[in-house]
Amino acid sequence: MSEGAKREKDERPAKEVRQGGQERRQFRAIKGTRDILPPDTALWNWFEATAREVIEAYNFAEIRTPIFEETELFARAVGVETDVVNKEMYSFEVYESDELVERRYMVANWPWNFDQYDFFRQQIAPRFVETLKIAVDKGQIVRDAANLRIYEEIKTAMADLMDTGVQYGKNAFDRFQSAARALLIGESITLRPEATASVCRAYIEHGMQTRPGDQKLYYVGPMFRRERPQKGRYRQFYQIGAEVLGTSDAPAIDAELIEMLTVLIGRCKIEKWTLLINSIGCPDTPERKGCRPKYVELLRAELRKPEIFSKLGPDSQRRVETNPLRVMDSKLPEEQPVIEKLPKISEHLCAECREHYEKLKSELALRKVPFTESPRLVRGLDYYMRTTFEITSPVLGAQNALCGGGRYDGLVEMLGGPKGIKGIGFALGEDRFVDAIVEAKKIDATRAVDVFVAWMGEKAYPEAVRLARVLRDAGRAVELPAREMKFGKAFERADKIGARYVLILGDDEIASKRLTIKTLASGEQKQMGESELLDYVRH
Q: Is residue 373 classed as helix, strand or coil in its secondary structure? A: strand
Closest CA to 270 of 440, 127, 72, 18: 440
Query: Does residue 237 belong to the site contacting ligand AMP (CB under 6 A)?
Result: yes
Closest CA to 431 of 53, 30, 35: 35
* Residue 263 vs 520, nearer CB to ligand AMP: 263
Closest CA to 264 of 245, 241, 244: 241
* Residue 150 vs 242, nearer CB to ligand AMP: 242
Query: Does residue 203 belong to the site contacting ligand AMP (CB under 6 A)?
Result: no
Rounded to the nearest whole angstrom, what is the least distance from the CB of residue 224 to ligand AMP in the complex? 9
Query: Does residue 406 belong to the site contacting ligand AMP (CB under 6 A)?
Result: no
Query: Does residue 267 belong to the site contacting ligand AMP (CB under 6 A)?
Result: no
Q: What is the CA radius of gyration of the chain?
A: 32
Among 69, 249, 431, 509, binds ligand AMP (CB under 6 A): 431
If one counts every other C-beta atom within 10 angstroms of the C-beta of residue 486, the result is 10
Closest CA to 237 of 110, 96, 370, 84: 84
* Residue 224 vs 491, nearer CB to ligand AMP: 224
CA dist 48 → 59, 269, 414, 480 (Å) = 16, 15, 32, 29
Residue 464 CA neighbour count, 13 Å, CB half? 25
Rounded to the nearest whole angstrom, what is the least distance from the CB of residue 158 to ligand AMP in the complex? 48
Among 100, 296, 429, 503, binds ligand AMP (CB under 6 A): 429
Query: Does residue 7 belong to the site contacting ligand AMP (CB under 6 A)?
Result: no
Site for ligand AMP in 408-427 (CB under 6 A): 427
Rounded to the nearest whole angstrom, what is the least distance from the CB of residue 156 to ligand AMP in the complex? 47
Query: Does residue 432 belong to the site contacting ligand AMP (CB under 6 A)?
Result: yes
Rounded to the nearest whole angstrom, what is the least distance from the CB of residue 381 to ligand AMP in the complex? 7
* Residue 54 vs 403, nearer CB to ligand AMP: 403
* Residue 259 vs 450, nearer CB to ligand AMP: 259
Rounded to the nearest whole angstrom, what is the least distance from the CB of residue 518 to ligand AMP in the complex? 45
Query: Does residue 380 belong to the site contacting ligand AMP (CB under 6 A)?
Result: yes
* Whole-angstrom distance, CA of residue 193 vs CA of residue 191: 6
Among 244, 276, 402, 415, binds ligand AMP (CB under 6 A): 402
* Whole-angstrom distance, CA of residue 255 vs CA of residue 264: 14
* Whole-angstrom distance, CA of residue 141 vs CA of residue 187: 7
* Whole-angstrom distance, CA of residue 368 vs CA of residue 361: 10
The answer to whether 229 and 431 have CB atoms below 8 angstroms apart is no
Judged by the rule CB under 6 A, the positions of this chain that interact with ligand AMP are 194, 225, 227, 232-234, 237, 239, 380, 401-404, 427-429, 431-432
